[in-house]
Amino acid sequence: MAGAALLAALLLQGAAAPTAAPDIAADARCFTVMAFAASATDAKAKQAGMMGALLWYGRLSAQLPAAGIADAIKAEAKRMEQDSASIQAEAQRCSAEMTAYGQAMQALGAEMRAEAGK
């Protein structure tokens, strides 16, 4: 519910943006997919969606000002609405990226614990 509210608030801000750059567009699509997942009734999907939305919002905020983030998300959400088949593909791609990030963080944690034990 919170993810849907966040997405709705972002979609209601300002006018539609010009096409986002490819790396920004991909991150905006992941944010959109994860914001929808955050409104799921399934607790596991909801948690993954909330974590993912935070991850991709952070990635976008490193590249764009707040208004640019909203514009990029609106533009990509509009494209995704017109091509509903892309939603599933984006969900799989974004989930795979989240898994890879999680594995990298676990590996780093293990490396740090090993170094601390020396």
- pLDDT single digits (tens) 32-80: 999 999 999 999 999 999 999 999 999 999 999 999 999 999 999 999 9
Reduced 3-state DSSP string for 72-101:
HHHHHHHHHHHCCHHHHHHHHHHHHHHHHH
Give the total number of structural domains in the chain: 1
Q: Tokens 């920004």 sit at which residue?
A: 24
| pLDDT at position 22 | 57
Which amino acid is present at 116?
A: A
Q: How confident is the model at residue 10 (pLDDT cuts 50, 70, 90)?
A: very low
Q: How far apart are CA 61 and CA 69, in angstroms?
A: 7
Q: How far apart are CA 32 and CA 98, in angstroms?
A: 14
Q: Which domain holds residue 7?
A: 2-116
If you write DSSP's letter for every residue of 27-87 in order, what string do you get?
Answer: HHHHHHHHHHHTT-SSHHHHHHHHHHHHHHHHHHHTTS-HHHHHHHHHHHHHHHHH-THHH
